[in-house]
Amino acid sequence: MNYEEARVYLDEIAGYGSVLGLSNMRELAERLGNPQNQLKFVHIAGTNGKGSVLAYVSSVLTEAGYRVGRYISPVVSSYEEKIQVDGIPIDKADLAELVTQIARAADAQKREKAGTPTVFEVETVLAFLYFKKKNCDVVVLETGLGGTDDATNIIENTDVCVITPVSMDHASVLGSTLTEIAEKKAGIIKPGAEVVTAPQDEPVMNVVKEKCLRESCPLTAVDTGSIERIYAGLDGQRFRYRGEEFEISLAGTYQVENACTAIEVLRVLRERGYKISDEAVYSGFVNAKWQYRFTVINRNPAVILDGAHNPAGAKALAESVKQYLAGKKVRYVFGVFADKDYGKIIELTAPFAEEIVCVETPGNPRALPAEKLAEAVREVNPRAEAADSIGSAVRRVMDASGDDDAVVIFGSLSFLGEAEREVESYGRK
């Protein structure tokens, strides 16, 4: 099949939904030669911060001269961004070739009643095949959902398991308590790997410690007492960690702890034989980019895009708004899925806004209607209105904002790409 046919195939199997468990994934990978067994991994699970930690670690490893695979989700600009080598998305011809190969195996698996692979399972095997084809030295791998039953969890050659901050999200799938969710996330911890965890609430830390003890895995936790913040601005941040000074180009109060998590991951990799110079660390941190995490796309007024779509992300966003945008009039464009805890997100973010324009994320059955979202926002901040499109919402807040004001566009990642294009077409910088 060609690229267009491959994309149609992926869209069609997306209709199968998702199935937790690894039996289908193991069967499909076996039929394709278990490409994951010829790769090494840094495996990342958590609720928030997975992508940022991935960006720091993979950027440094690329600077150090390694060929680095990245597997990320969700993506917002192009489908191919899911699967990257050294920051370059998978080539369309390679995608078509490998999807054709996978489709034959998946169809045979289905015919033989050995299971029906889901789209995430197919995409994960696609990533493994591509990284093998490109002779990647190491793959930095995000889980899709949870950890224990996530399709990525068939891997065996894990150098470092990383647990980023865990909070309540996807409760209907992962569990109704923080402990239950943490147990699912900690499912990526396997014998032979070392474990790095970001700062965690006590129930989560207890779960991670117990899992590491059972699997005889050394554990390193980020030492928040060793973090010293030097400078924070929309253009980047400087900080010290364990006495060493670092600079990052990403704004957002939470990015310093994400970077410190990456520092600990890189320290473990060095101890396991990876040759990573101090210069590679410093330049990799400065060059690391991660889209739509307190990302500044305009200066006058300041326009910031942020994928805060759960309470933990909203709390981090609120802290960043208070720190970076103090003294400015702040207007929001906000859209979220109906199955998210949007009431808590509103409670955390709405009090700081001069005006909130609510939108419905387009083309998704999970989207919360704009008017219903606006009604919920008005319970906390009466200055909320519904817009009939992303474009009209962007024009409204931009028209109302002076050069010294700020616009924050946040919520579901699914509409941020369109919002960015609308800001660019508006024309102010």
pLDDT in tens, 45-99: 999 899 999 999 999 999 999 999 999 977 777 899 999 999 999 999 999 999 9
Q: Mind listing the pLDDT tens digit for each residue in 116-133? A: 999 999 999 999 999 999
Tokens of 383: 């200055």
Rounded Cα gap, residues 327 and 338, in angstroms: 32
Q: Residues of the chain with pLDDT > 90: what percent?
A: 86
Whole-model pTM?
A: 0.89
User: pLDDT at position 366, please?
Assistant: 87
User: pLDDT at position 174, please?
Assistant: 72
For residue 213, is pLDDT > 70? yes
Q: What are phi and psi of 378, to 5 degrees?
A: -60, -20
Q: For residue 413, what pLDDT band results from cuts at 50, 70 and 90?
A: confident
Q: Which residues of 281-298 are buried (b: 16+ CB within 10 A; e: fewer)?
A: bbbbbebbebbbbbbbbb
For residue 327, is pLDDT > 90? yes
- Give me the amino acid identity at 338: A
Q: For residue 375, what pLDDT band results from cuts at 50, 70 and 90?
A: very high
Mean pLDDT (whole number) for 253-277 = 97
Mean pLDDT (whole number) for 142-163 = 94
Mean pLDDT (whole number) for 341-366 = 94
For residue 429, is pLDDT > 70? no
Q: Mind listing the pLDDT tens digit for each residue in 179-201? A: 999 999 999 999 999 999 999 99
For residue 416, is pLDDT > 70? yes
Give me the sheet containing 88-89, strands edge to edge: 88-89, 83-85, 68-71, 138-142, 41-45, 158-163, 194-197, 219-221
Mean pLDDT (whole number) for 396-400 = 97
For residue 172, is pLDDT > 70? no
For residue 175, is pLDDT > 80? no
Tokens of 88: 């370059």
